[in-house]
Amino acid sequence: MNHRVFALALTAALASLVAQGAAAQGLRPSGTSSSGKTGLSSSPSSLNARPAAVPSITLPAPSTSTAPRSADFIVAVVNSEPVTNYEVRSRLARAEAQIAKQGGAMPPRDALAREVLERIILEKVQLQQARESGIKVDDYAVSQAEQGVARQNDMTVDELYARLARDGMSKDRFREELRNQLLQQRLREREVEARVKVSDLDVDQFLREEQKGTDVAAMEINLGHVLVLVPENATPTQVAERQARAQRAADKVRSGEDFAAVAREFSDAPEGQRAGGLLGLRPADRYPELFVNSTLGLPVGSIVGPVRSPAGFHVLKVVERVTAGMPTTVVQNHARHILLRTGPQLSEAAAAARLADYRRRVLAGQADFAALAREHSQDGSSKEGGDLGWANPGRYVPEFEQALDTLKPGDISEPVVSRFGVHLIQLLERREAKLTQREQRDMARNVVREKKLDEAYATWAQELRGRAYVEYREPPQ
């Protein structure tokens, strides 16, 4: 049920349904290097430079519905766990509000409700698998994610919860959704990471595509868009009428008429009236596949369409295209850390409390960071006083890197939870450095790995969903 036509708006909306709070942790951290320094990439060179994507965090969109809550009922059962109509309706309202906020074309409500239901089913399957596998999330990790949401929205935690309360979301509910996102993240890390291997041939192919300017992962595009909607149960006559309307729009822009004027006249999409049909410069993977595939390789100024999707007919104009090449210089960090591994004998909260005490003692001049690292750190860097050396961007797991980026030289972070345990991080120095050819190739390897991780996750999620018992009861209303 992949309605790719409205993926541009729907992907972001569904990702925001649970506030994306756990995304601050990073969805796909790298592995551990052969050097034994936990937090480095899995490449033997330890120089993979592209960090896992850490999307900017948005607060959940408030529900705009003022209708009284109707009687609830079960719409599906997932391995004996029910999904209620109210649960779907609540998520649906938030998805619709998010799509409207982003200015995307609103898909048919029934189709969007089915997408929301399928997302809930997939979440429940993953959460069930995580719990069966013994994966747990400590309260400290939830609090760290909570602080990340507040920080990325330029709020204090108290301001965050005041905003959430106005939007009808309680603190307990928000924290539970953060916990669920963290559970899913940790399950993905464990189940998907080992599936991904990147060969030298993969890297060579990526570099060739980049040189030709056809690599979608490294591309940003700005498209003009005219959408002529087709009703979900349209008759052949209605479809023909809508196609003819889209063809008139395409003919006008091909004959030289202003695209913005044509969009305002013909387009059923919100951006047609608001922005002259322009969707804005954004990474190609934030566009529906239909849009990308239809315009790939065409020069700026090209007109495409009408092309058909489940939503209707589209006319597209290639307004701008930017292909990001591999950088030649980067900002490097020189850091050291203390790692405490967590488990049955040491919870994340207890580890964080111990590291917070180390931090207090160092800042008070009562202890030396390097000495504490040599004595207490459970990482291969302990013998060097926790020193990790100079590192390019992306060398560390996302949550480690995110904390590091907020520090100034000499600063010591608060305790940071990662897949490896809890860290105390000190930034020693920062500099701009030119990359060697080997380092640039390692950056390309990491880009390829991220793409393969996306594909591996999609395959794994489909397999997990396929093994689940799902019984549909009533259509969501």
Q: What is the pTM of this model?
A: 0.60
Is residue 290 domain-shared with residue 259, that is, in the same domain?
yes
Q: End of a domain among 291, 323, 355? A: 323
Q: Are residues 227 and 194 in the same domain?
A: no
Are residues 426 and 403 in contact, defined by beta-carbon separation less than 8 angstroms? no
Does a structural domain hold residue 458? no
Concatenate the DSSP letters of all residues of 11-60 into one string.
HHHHHTTTTTGGGGG-SS-----TT--TTS-SSTT----PPPP-PPP-PP
Whether residue 51 is found in the same domain as residue 136: yes
pLDDT of residue 93: 86
Q: CA 174, CA 112: separation in Å to the nearest integer? A: 23
pLDDT tens, residue by residue, 16-74: 333 333 222 222 222 333 333 444 333 222 222 222 333 233 444 444 444 444 567 89
Residue 452: inside a domain, yes or no? no
- The burial of 465, by beta-carbon neighbours within 10 Å (0-12 exposed, 13-18 middle, 19 or more buried), is given as middle
**Domain identity same for 319 and 341:** no
Per DSSP bridges, beta strands 219-229 and 282-283 are antiparallel
In a domain, 87, yes or no: yes
Note whether residue 292 is domain-resident: yes
Q: Say if 103 falls within a structural domain.
A: yes
pLDDT score of 445: 86
The verdict on residue 444 lying in a domain is: no
The pLDDT score that the predictor gives to residue 65 is 44
Q: Which of 15-24, 152-161, 271-280 has the highest mean pLDDT?
A: 152-161
24 or 440: whose pLDDT is higher? 440
Per-residue confidence band for 272, with pLDDT thresholds at 50, 70 and 90 = low
Q: Rounded to the nearest 10 degrees, what angle do helices 85-102 and 109-132 cross at?
A: 120
Averaged over 349-369, what is the pLDDT?
Answer: 95
Same domain (yes/no): 242, 306: yes
**Residues 77 and 168 placed together within one structural domain of the fold:** yes
pLDDT at 414 over 90: yes
Range of the domain at 165: 4-200+464-472
Q: The CATH number of the domain where 270 resides is what?
A: 3.10.50.40
**pLDDT (tens digit per residue) in 80-103:** 899 998 888 888 888 888 777 666
Task: Please state the separation of Cα 25 from the chain's center in Å.
Answer: 10
User: Is residue 38 situated within a structural domain?
Assistant: yes
**Higher per-residue pLDDT: 180 or 101:** 180
Average pLDDT of the residues in 297-317: 87
- Average of pLDDT values for 146-166? 86
Same domain, 152 and 291: no
- Decide which of 242 and 66 is more confident: 242
Indicate whether 304 and 429 sit together in one domain.
no
What is the rounded average pLDDT of the residues 364-389? 95
Predicted local confidence at residue 126, as pLDDT:
92
Give the domain CATH number at 37.
1.10.4030.10
SS3 398: helix
Q: In terms of domains, do 131 and 242 share one?
A: no
Tokens in use for 398?
Answer: 């996302």
- Top pLDDT among 168 and 476 is at 168
Q: What is the pLDDT of residue 216?
A: 60
Same domain assignment for residues 165 and 185: yes
Q: Same domain, yes or no, for 319 and 334?
A: no
Residue 210 counted as domain residue: no
Cα 462–463–466 angle (5° rounding)? 85
If pLDDT is split at 50, 70 and 90, which confidence band does 125 have?
A: very high
Answer yes or no: do 68 and 194 share one domain: yes
What's the number of CA atoms in the CB half-sphere (13 Å) around residue 177?
20
Instruction: Report the domain count for the chain.
Output: 3
Of 313 and 271, which is predicted with more confidence?
A: 313
For the chain, give the number of residues.
477
